[in-house]
């Protein structure tokens, strides 16, 4: 069996199952258990309160502050004197703590999507919880041994109800623990759910499915190399050299711990699907394609309900399926980056006999070509094997069965859609936006020698890179100068996505703008030289595309890559147009820090990048000055007598280290 880290659920006093039943707990749980909570009413403190005792029974780590050794298998080395080649002869990569993988068995907990205090004992990700039996650790505000009790205040009315999740967030070990399976879902309900469930009450109710996508693996791909690389001797040059060929590829995505699960629907039935992308790596940026016979309506992104306009326009659904090395096709598809959640109403087609439909997936983003070839080869082999026994492709299958009886249901009419609550109104623009730059230094995607930076520096635990003031709106332009589509995520408050595009000749050129900005908490940053779908009107055939697409792309300072597809015959087509290779990708977001002060983080949600330095500390301070307030349920934090000194500000430039703000 693979040595995995996973969650065990312990039955204790006061435990209540969602369905009211008592039964044996099956441990370990991959994914972890689902918790269902209800947020408070407006002006009240009657929201559900989550209290979780986290017990660390992982093996004691010998030196939790030492970087895990990583060898550079991208270079060649000479054979030994006896002419043999060995893995241990490849050089170790130079690393600097804390911007490295370390402390594999030190953990904590992050409540992703929760609008709660970032201070202890709530969504406190600066905690290090060491395994039971660890010696020479003095318990403090940030260090605990064995157990830690998270006590969340009652969920406020300003908590976005929807699909959220929890996972470890100890810097240095986050990626390894999540890729082992340490993640679970939290469903928070409120007035929007009441409205939606009431709408379908007379139709027999709305089946609500939580679908957690994971890539379970024992080791981090491209770092520990599990299974180890194959070493060969190459004598095509003089002298001979030893080469290492990686054998590791991203694990096949599973849903709720199952490969290609089968969901059953009745003809005409509508179900609510809550998709959670709990993967950790670039290969986990998924494009999911729905069979065109299904009706699809997105109703929420990252646990935040859609506005009426976004429900009507469906800005995140695409009909153009563009995947490298595949012919373009018409397929209702969505992109989910690691950390994203998306809620859909899915309507089954009317069929006269049991029919199974495959919902396919593909890796998105500019991953290295050799990595993509291995991923595609694995997927093609899996599909071939499944076809041989007349099974579907690997993500999930939906079987529509008339024997269960039809269940005619209709999508909500846009005029019925509820208005956004006051705390989800559009955030005003700022005249001078803040620029935050995600960058990667290195020659090859997934190479162990790459460095991951934000604003030119790596993570420093000793200071805050950004200081925001409570109730003061922010507008940020976040750029990306590399091929991976780094998913930007910041804790505590969701943000609004205003536009995304490319910086062409140094100027932001939006290729996707949202007239009703989208609420979310995680966004995959467009790649450098990103390719965009541009509307081209009707295109009748490939010869017509050869005439129209170059003109469409050139008009936006982009170049046609040869791909196009018709999304509505005789009316709408799109051309795939690429920005210049030197053009940085960017997004423009707006955020409004409300309710809570304290220190939190922003980071890349390709968690191996976060563990290796692509993270920053952010603090929210009181309007009165550089102070945080002690959290008090239902009470303002920023009042005289309730202040805590804020963190010090990071210098503009520094060298990463445990005390980088001190000048190291």
Segment 197-211, tens digit of pLDDT: 999 999 999 999 999
Which residues are bridge partners to 54 per DSSP?
A: 148
Nearest to 227 by CA among 200, 251, 243, 203: 251
* Domain identity same for 361 and 436: no
* Domain identity same for 404 and 508: no
Structure-token pair, residue 157: 């009315």
* Domain identity same for 357 and 455: no
- pLDDT given at position 441: 84
- pLDDT given at position 366: 41
- pLDDT given at position 227: 63
* Domain identity same for 315 and 449: no
Rounded Cα–Cα distance for residues 4 and 177 (Å): 8
Nearest to 434 by CA among 585, 589, 584: 589
User: For position 601, which CATH number holds?
Assistant: 2.60.40.420
Is 570 part of any domain? no
What pLDDT, in 10s, does the model give residues 336-376?
999 999 999 999 999 999 998 887 776 554 433 333 343 34
Does position 304 have pLDDT exceeding 90, yes or no?
A: yes
Domain finish residue from 411, 439, 455: 411
Please count the structural domains in the chain: 3
Structure-token pair, residue 444: 């090859």
The residue that leads in pLDDT, 525 or 228, is 525
What pLDDT, in 10s, does the model give residues 19-70?
666 667 777 788 999 999 999 999 999 999 999 999 999 999 888 899 999 8
Domain finish residue from 411, 438, 456: 411
Nearest to 272 by CA among 354, 166, 162, 164: 162
User: For position 271, which CATH number holds?
Assistant: 2.60.40
- pLDDT given at position 387: 40
Nearest to 316 by CA among 67, 614, 524: 524
* Domain identity same for 151 and 286: no
Domain finish residue from 370, 387, 411: 411
Nearest to 91 by CA among 106, 69, 112, 110: 69
Structure letter (DSSP) for residue 515: E
Nearest to 75 by CA among 94, 90, 97: 90
- pLDDT given at position 436: 96
Is 90 part of any domain? no
- pLDDT given at position 8: 85
Average pLDDT over residues 536-550: 95
Is 544 part of any domain? no
- pLDDT given at position 489: 98
Average pLDDT over residues 650-658: 86
Is 122 part of any domain? yes
Does position 151 have pLDDT exceeding 60, yes or no?
A: yes
* Domain identity same for 400 and 306: yes
* Domain identity same for 624 and 648: yes
- pLDDT given at position 610: 96
Is 638 part of any domain? yes
Q: What is the DSSP string of 342-375?
A: EEEEEEPPP-SS-EEEEEEEEE-S---HHHHHHH
* Domain identity same for 50 and 8: yes
Which of 36-45, 121-130, 442-451, 543-552 has the lowest average pLDDT?
Answer: 442-451
Does position 280 have pLDDT exceeding 70, yes or no?
A: yes
All residues at 6 or more sequence positions from 195 whose CB lies less than 8 Å from its CB, including other chains: 418
- pLDDT given at position 449: 85
- pLDDT given at position 373: 42
What pLDDT, in 10s, does the model give residues 483-492?
889 999 999 9
Is 19 part of any domain? yes
Q: Tokens 């919880």, residue?
A: 129
Residue 379: band (very low, low, confident or very high) from pLDDT cuts 50, 70, 90: very low
Rounded Cα–Cα distance for residues 509 and 114 (Å): 33
**Are 211 and 274 contacting, i.e. CB atoms less than 8 angstroms apart?**
yes
- H/E element, 198: helix 191-199
Which of 179-193, 252-266, 417-431, 551-565 has the lowest average pLDDT?
Answer: 252-266
- pLDDT given at position 229: 83
* Domain identity same for 255 and 293: yes
Rounded Cα–Cα distance for residues 82 and 610 (Å): 41
Q: What percent of the chain has pLDDT over 90?
A: 71
Rounded Cα–Cα distance for residues 607 and 603 (Å): 9
What pLDDT, in 10s, does the model give residues 114-147?
999 999 999 999 999 999 999 999 999 999 999 9
All residues at 6 or more sequence positions from 234 whose CB lies less than 8 Å from its CB, including other chains: 76, 240, 241, 242, 243
- pLDDT given at position 324: 64
Average pLDDT over residues 174-179: 94
- pLDDT given at position 594: 97
* Domain identity same for 371 and 482: no
**Are 592 and 469 contacting, i.e. CB atoms less than 8 angstroms apart?**
no
Is 640 part of any domain? yes
Q: Tokens 């969920």, residue?
A: 155
- pLDDT given at position 332: 78
Structure-token pair, residue 245: 């060929």
* Domain identity same for 376 and 481: no
- H/E element, 546: helix 542-554
Does position 1 have pLDDT exceeding 50, yes or no?
A: no
Query: Domain range spanning residue 326?
Result: 250-411
**Category of 611 on φ-ψ map: left (φ > 0), alpha (ψ -120 to 50) or beta:** alpha
Rounded CA Rg of the chain: 25
- pLDDT given at position 367: 37
The residue that leads in pLDDT, 260 or 83, is 83
Q: What mean pLDDT is reported for the chain?
A: 89
Nearest to 604 by CA among 169, 123, 65, 184: 169
Q: What percent of the chain has pLDDT over 70?
A: 88
Average pLDDT over residues 139-159: 97
**Omega of the bond prior to 239 within 30 degrees of 0, cis?**
yes
- H/E element, 396: strand 396-400
Does position 513 have pLDDT exceeding 60, yes or no?
A: yes
What is the value of pTM for the model shown? 0.92
Is 456 part of any domain? yes
* Domain identity same for 635 and 499: yes
């Amino acid at each position: 069996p693979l040595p995995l880290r996973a969650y065990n659920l312990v039955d204790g006093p006061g435990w209540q199952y969602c369905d009211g039943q008592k039964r044996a707990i099956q441990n370990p749980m991959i994914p972890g258990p689902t918790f269902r909570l209800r947020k408070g009413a407006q002006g009240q403190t009657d929201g559900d309160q989550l209290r979780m005792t986290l017990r660390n029974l992982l093996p004691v780590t010998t030196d939790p502050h030492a970087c895990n050794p990583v060898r550079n298998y991208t270079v060649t080395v000479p054979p030994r004197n006896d002419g043999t080649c060995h893995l241990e002869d490849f050089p170790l990569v130079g690393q600097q703590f804390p911007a490295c993988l370390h402390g594999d068995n030190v953990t904590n907990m992050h409540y992703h999507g929760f609008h709660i205090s970032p201070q202890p004992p709530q969504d406190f990700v600066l905690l290090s919880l060491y395994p039971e039996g660890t010696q020479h650790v003095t318990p403090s505000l940030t260090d605990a041994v064995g157990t830690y009790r998270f006590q969340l205040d009652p969920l406020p009315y300003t908590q976005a109800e929807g699909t959220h999740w929890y996972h470890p967030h100890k810097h240095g070990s986050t990626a390894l623990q999540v890729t082992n399976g340490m993640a679970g879902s939290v469903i928070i309900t409120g007035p929007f759910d009441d409205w939606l469930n009431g709408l379908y009450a007379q139709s027999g109710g709305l089946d609500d499915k939580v679908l957690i996508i994971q890539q379970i693996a024992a080791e981090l791909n491209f770092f520990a190399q599990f299974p180890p690389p194959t070493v060969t001797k190459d004598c095509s040059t003089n002298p001979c050299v030893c080469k290492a060929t990686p054998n590791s590829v991203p694990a096949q995505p599973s849903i709720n711990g199952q490969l290609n699960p089968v969901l059953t629907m009745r003809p005409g039935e509508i179900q609510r699907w809550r998709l959670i992308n709990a993967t950790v790596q670039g290969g986990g940026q998924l494009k999911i394609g729905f069979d065109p016979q299904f009706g699809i309506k997105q109703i929420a992104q990252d646990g935040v309900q859609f506005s009426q306009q976004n429900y009507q326009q469906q800005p995140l659904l695409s009909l153009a399926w563009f995947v490298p090395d595949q012919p373009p096709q018409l397929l209702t598809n969505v992109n989910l980056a690691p950390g994203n959640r998306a809620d859909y109403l899915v309507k089954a087609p009317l069929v006269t006999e049991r029919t199974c439909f495959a919902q396919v997936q593909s890796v998105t983003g500019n991953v290295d070509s050799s990595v993509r070839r291995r991923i595609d080869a694995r997927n093609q082999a899996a599909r071939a094997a499944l076809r041989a026994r007349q099974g579907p492709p690997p993500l999930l299958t939906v079987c529509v069965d008339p024997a269960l009886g039809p269940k005619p249901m209709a999508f909500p009419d846009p005029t019925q859609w509820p208005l956004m609550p006051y705390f989800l109104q559009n955030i005003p623009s700022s005249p001078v936006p803040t620029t935050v730059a995600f960058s990667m230094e290195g020659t090859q995607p997934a190479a162990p020698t790459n460095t991951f930076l934000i604003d030119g520096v790596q993570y420093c635990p000793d200071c805050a890179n950004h200081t925001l003031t409570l109730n003061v709106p922010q507008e940020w332009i976040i750029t990306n100068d590399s091929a991976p589509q780094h998913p930007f995520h910041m804790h505590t408050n969701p943000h609004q996505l205003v536009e995304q595009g490319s910086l062409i000749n140094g100027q932001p050129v939006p290729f996707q703008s949202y007239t009703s900005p989208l609420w979310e908490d995680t966004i995959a940053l467009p790649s450098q030289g990103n390719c965009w779908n541009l509307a081209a009107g009707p295109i009748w055939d490939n010869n017509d595309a050869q005439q129209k697409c170059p003109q469409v792309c050139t008009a936006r300072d982009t170049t046609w890559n040869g791909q196009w597809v018709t999304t509505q015959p005789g009316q709408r087509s799109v051309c795939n147009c690429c920005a210049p290779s030197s053009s940085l990708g960017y997004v423009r977001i707006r955020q409004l820090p409300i309710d809570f002060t304290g220190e939190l983080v922003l980071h890349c949600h390709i968690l191996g990048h976060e563990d290796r330095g692509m993270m920053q500390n952010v603090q929210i301070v009181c309007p009165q000055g550089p102070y945080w307030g002690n959290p008090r349920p239902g009470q303002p934090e920023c009042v005289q007598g309730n202040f805590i000194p804020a963190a010090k500000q990071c210098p503009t430039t520094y060298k990463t280290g445990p005390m980088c703000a001190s000048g190291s």
